[in-house]
Amino acid sequence: MAYIQARKHAHPPRRTASAAAAFAALAIPAAVHAQQAAAPADAASAPASTQVLPEIKAKSTVETPYKAEAMSSPKFTQPLVDTPQTITVIKKELLREQGATTLSEALRNTPGVTMLMGENGNTSSGDSIFMRGFDTSGSIFVDGIRDLGFISRDVFNIEQVEVVKGPSGADNGRGASSGYVNLSSKVPFAENFNAASLSLGTSSRKRATADLNRPLDIGVPGTAVRLNLMVQDSGVPGRDEVEKKSYGFAPSIAFGLNTPTRAYFYLLHSKQDNLPDGGVPTYGVGNYKLPTTAPAGVPTPTPVDSENFYGSRSDYEKIDIDMFTARVEHDVAPGITLRNTSRYGRSTQDSVLTGVNAVNFVTPADPSTYTVNRSRQRKYQQNEILTNQSNITAELGSGAVKHSVTGGVEFTYEKQSLPTFALPTGVTQDPANLYDPSLGDVFQTPVRNGAYAKGNTLTAAVYAFDTLKVGEQWQFTGGVRWEKYRTEFNSMTLTDGVLVPLALDASGNLLSWKLGALFKPAPNGSVYVSVASSELPPGGANHTLSANANNVNQPNLDPQEGSNIEVGTKWEFLGGKLAIAGAIFRSENKNELVQDPIDTTVYTQVGKRRVQGIELSVVGQLTNELHLSAGLARMDPEIERAAAATQGGLIQWSPELTFTSWLTYKLPFGLTLGGGARYVDNATTTSNVDTSTVTGLTEMPSYWVADALVGYEFSKNFNLQLNVYNLFDKEYLSAVNSGRSRYFPGVPRSALLTANVQF
């Protein structure tokens, strides 16, 4: 809602709107054009060299709660309207209105993103993201630094979530062909600002947050401190027994704000203590097909109650996250800035989870006797990262030809350890009744068996970017990153009661690049074409290597190669308050493994997947009272080269059409009404061309979901907001595991009441 907002902060300069033809497919009602002439022009904002990233106090009077002006990274030297790539920036103001608390919830605001059940769809927790047809779980960053481990991320200390689509190896190095997600942390700024929120909701949801910022007069110019706090104790709507408990604090201090030399030191500590969700059997859901082994006499499958819990109250998930970051910036001369960022981070995830698998037809004619097999898994994973990044940005040239140059070096060390737990030899977990699981069942405890997996990756990289401006209408951009990496992997596996060691390593050089050409037919718009690449070597996603010929992490394999070509246009209207964008794209991923049809022991890297489509977006203010964020993506995801069974098939977890929207309107007497709708098309769960032979759940059904918001502003410093989720109580599947045996049900109709105070 627009009635309580964080203070505005500086962004790169942008030009006021002028009369121009908008992108036809994104036409806005004529009222937009009618208001352009009357829209106030933005004041010139602070130069980029003096920015306090990711935010600074703004000099502009234009309020844009949803619309961001720029990326937080200094590698992006131009405002979003002049950046030749599809980028979605989701600001904290939008997340606060929606009551969104996690990265998964935040990503509902961009189309073309699908969530799976945990890592590779195999576990219950963690941000498992599919974007534009490719797994993006290993391409999540915080302040431009690769994030820790496989965890669920809270957004209480996040200024904005940045979603960069298409291969982007030049930005951050090894990564997915889909792009990446970056979370920009909150840091101090030179104003007094204090805000707090308290939320109570259905399913015993309770959450409190605070954001406190204050300048200090301690004899050091430009000193300020900021503290973000969060505590949560909640159930999960529609899921019996599941609990989410967490707390976090993020203190930070800055010196030299609004001076040529600035320093930031910030810490994040977060802890989760959850009762995790192993999911619900997919039996009878959607187009579910009985297994070929099902006996005669089994009636048409009937879905189970989606609130059923198949785990134990002794299941748990404990996550600890600690990160310390130091960043120093110095303006060497007008237009030239040096930056250095160092970070040490550590995460630990300890969990015991009960999952469900195959159904047993005990008495075929009597479904009440059916049972479902359960797995009992323990995971104890530790991740660490130590990194240092140095960067220089410079504005060069004068007259008709100008350069915006940035370059730097990066050194990063990451490591991961994962001991193996299993049920004792000869011990199995009893199945549960399919339709009536009992918490009174006996649950076995996984124990250490001596096996483990340890991996680490060392990276050294150098990169450079340049935006060449020729006159007022033409811009040419280029970027390149060269990195040298080495991954070492050691494991011990238990085979027939004997521990078998394995030691592997992989090393090499990666070269990623991007190019773009942009034409500005008017000061408030651009038309562009861009191409980009990325590479993902064996072990690049999880520091794990394998000796198996059919594993993508086999160290002798070449890196997978991603490429993207995109043609798009971006426009700003209403004095820069409203942004409209559209692009057509084609992304490819090559060097995928394919089994030889004659010699099945041989695998070659001839596979290729491609996703092509169109993405449209609109974000900002139609009037001072009416705010809008919406996006639509239409994709054609296909496996172009693969084994005969899948060649020509669709890429899993990739719906053809996705749509998201959120709109609020503030009435004159303090009442705000709003809401949004999301649509996700059906998505295949199997890549087989002939799905007639595939059993189980072969497709995630399509769905519409609508949410609503009512808020009232009692004063400029206090308001209440009521969020109602899934307004029409639509039943849908929010995520499915890779084995297609279990799913997470979508949140049923539920409510959250939040009190917001600013002081």
Condensed to tens digits (0 to 9), the pLDDT of residues 702-751 reads: 999 999 999 999 999 999 999 999 999 999 999 998 888 999 999 999 99
In the predicted structure, residue 61 carries a pLDDT above the cut 50: no
Domains and their CATH numbers in the chain: 24-758 (2.40.170.20)
pLDDT for 1 equals 52
In the predicted structure, residue 49 carries a pLDDT above the cut 90: no
Question: Taking the C-alpha atoms of 502, 503, 508 and 513 in order, what is their torsion angle to the nearest 10 degrees?
Answer: 50
Average pLDDT over every residue of 487-495: 96
pLDDT for 23 equals 35
Average pLDDT over every residue of 461-483: 97
pTM of the model: 0.90
Q: Which of 3-17, 239-253, 257-271, 616-630 has the lowest mean pLDDT?
A: 3-17
In the predicted structure, residue 93 carries a pLDDT above the cut 80: yes
30 CB contacts (<8 Å, ≥6 apart)?
none
CA–CA separation, 388 and 342 (whole Å):
4
CA–CA separation, 722 and 516 (whole Å):
44
Share of the chain above pLDDT 90, in %: 84
pLDDT for 16 equals 35
CA–CA separation, 519 and 541 (whole Å):
36
Condensed to tens digits (0 to 9), the pLDDT of residues 279-323 reads: 999 999 999 999 999 999 999 999 999 999 999 999 999 999 999
* Residue 637 token pair: 């995801």
Condensed to tens digits (0 to 9), the pLDDT of residues 379-422 reads: 999 999 999 999 999 999 888 999 999 999 999 999 999 999 99
564 CB contacts (<8 Å, ≥6 apart)?
166, 167, 177, 530, 531, 532, 533, 585, 586, 587, 588
Average pLDDT over every residue of 539-557: 95
375 CB contacts (<8 Å, ≥6 apart)?
354, 355, 356, 357, 429
- Tokens 């394999």 belong to 557
Tell me the three state secondary structure of residue 104: helix
* Residue 604 token pair: 């070659």
pLDDT for 116 equals 85
Contact 611, 134 (CB under 8 A): yes
Ramachandran quadrant class, 450 (left: phi over 0; alpha: psi -120 to 50; beta: rest): left
- Tokens 């942004």 belong to 579
> How many residues make up the chain in this entry?
759
Pair type for strands 145-146 and 718-725: unpaired
